[in-house]
Amino acid sequence: MVSKIALEEHFLCPGYEGYWATTVGGVAPDALRRISARLSDFGDSRIEAMDNGGILKAVLSLAGPGVQSEPDRAVAIRMAATANDFLAREIQKRPDRYAGFGHLPMQDPAAAADELERCVRDLGFCGAMINGHTNGQYLDHPSLAAFWERASALRAPVYIHPTPPHPAVMDAYFKDYPVLSGAPLGFTLETLTHTYRLILSGLFDEFPALKIIVGHLGETAPFLLWRTTDTLGRRIKMPRAFGDYYRTHFWLTTSGAFSDAALTCSIAEMGVERIMFSIDWPFQENLPGRKWLDAAPVSEPDRAAIFGGNAQKLLKL
Instruction: Give the residue numbers annotated as catalytic, written as ranges.
Output: 280
CA pseudo-torsion sign 138, 142, 146, 152: positive
Give Cα separations from 4 to 84, 128, 211, 287 (angstroms).
Answer: 24, 20, 21, 12
Rounded CA gap, 184 and 241, in Å?
A: 30
Nearest residue to 123 (alpha-carbon basis) of 156, 149, 148, 100: 100
Q: Which one-letter DSSP state was computed for residue 13?
A: -
User: Edge-to-edge strands of the sheet including 212-214?
Assistant: 5-11, 57-62, 98-103, 127-130, 158-160, 212-214, 250-253, 275-276
Backbone angles phi, psi at 129, to 5 degrees: -115, 130
- In 19-163, DSSP assigns E strands to 57-62, 98-103, 127-130, 158-160
Q: Which one-letter DSSP state was computed for residue 277?
A: -
